[in-house]
Amino acid sequence: MIELPEANVLSRQIDETLKGKTIKRAVAGAFPHAFAWYTGDPATYGAMLDGKKVTGAGDATGSGKSCGGNVRVRCENMELVISTPIKYHAPGEKLPKKHQLLLEFADGSHMSCTVQMWGAMFCVPHDPSKESLAPLPCPLADGFDRAYFDGLLSASKADLSAKAFLATEQRIPGLGNGVLHDILFNARIHPKRKLCTLEGREIKILFESVKETLKRMTDEGGRDTEKDLFGNKGGYATILSNNTLGLPCRVCGGALKREAYLGGNIYFCPACQPV
């Protein structure tokens, strides 16, 4: 899944790089993948997209068109909704050997999607009448305020862990297991802490960390564990990730830990984030 900071970066880069290009040929499903998802038969994507012009990308900030871990690529009356990494290839550049979606443009450039773990590449009619409909508030937008955050908390079971609250059931679209760790580290909250154990001050700090950490990740071009449209790593240096596992905690100097939890790994500092 693409998470919120990278979705934002990709949307901006698609607007700057692909807008105005005409799709010469669209190929979907050429290399089957068990966890690549399409709308209907991927063999029909060519009929739906060939000859269409890219007219822009959706807004990943949640300010009017989309929110979360999807990138929306508008192609006149059609729209691609993509939740897997996207790569731009300049004319003459080598293309990936395997791909689940490939757009060839009239100028010889390409856009490809190659699914890693899983990913959706939906092709649906673009409905302009729905652009003004408000999506779920996004942490990068003003609508995601303390009152909204408190509402999410009150609607959740008290025995949920911090990780389960933030990164499951898409309560906050685009906030997944990747961005979770720095958010919780900045709030000094262990991923396994139960919501019922959080005090008022900690809830305030957690809310602020969600807003501020995601904004910093976005402003710095995405995380250094992910790549943008051109294959470049993001400029945000992750605090807790596989990149930093062998390094000392930047606050206390202690050893960072990784554990399996809720279907994925969690990273934390035992000293700074007591359970």
pLDDT 10s digits, 131-187: 544 567 889 999 999 999 999 999 999 999 999 999 998 899 899 999 999 999 999
φ, ψ dihedrals at 12, nearest 5°: -65, -45
Residue 202, amino acid:
E
User: Which two structure tokens, joined as six digits, stand for 98?
Assistant: 């395997």
Answer for the pair 79, 86: CB distance below 8 angstroms, yes or no. no
Higher pLDDT, 133 or 42: 42
Residues 63-72 have a mean pLDDT of 65
> Is the predicted pLDDT of residue 58 greater than 90, yes or no?
no
- Mind spelling out the 3-state secondary structure of 223-268? ECCCECCCCCECCECCCCCCCCCCCECCCCCCECEEEEECCEEEEE
Higher pLDDT, 128 or 14: 14
Q: Is the dihedral of CA 90, 94, 95, 96 positive or negative?
A: negative
What SS3 class is residue 67? strand
pLDDT in tens, 8-30: 999 999 999 999 999 999 999 99
pLDDT in tens, 232-270: 999 999 999 999 999 999 999 999 999 999 989 999 999
Q: Name the residue with tokens 């689940």.
A: 100
Share of the chain above pLDDT 70, in %: 94
Domains and CATH numbers, the chain: 4-130 (3.20.190.10), 146-268 (1.10.8.50)
pLDDT in the model for residue 85? 92
pLDDT in the model for residue 106? 98
> Is the predicted pLDDT of residue 65 greater than 50, yes or no?
no
Higher pLDDT, 116 or 235: 235
> Is the predicted pLDDT of residue 67 greater than 90, yes or no?
no
Answer for the pair 13, 228: CB distance below 8 angstroms, yes or no. yes
pLDDT in the model for residue 129? 63
Residues 193-218 have a mean pLDDT of 97
Indicate the range of 13-27, 90-104, 117-131 predicted with least confidence: 117-131
Sorted by sequence, the CB contacts under 8 Å of residue 79 that are 6+ apart come out as: 58, 72, 73, 123, 124, 125, 126
φ, ψ dihedrals at 47, nearest 5°: -65, -30
Residues 98-122 have a mean pLDDT of 96
Distance of CA 211 to the CA centre of its chain: 15
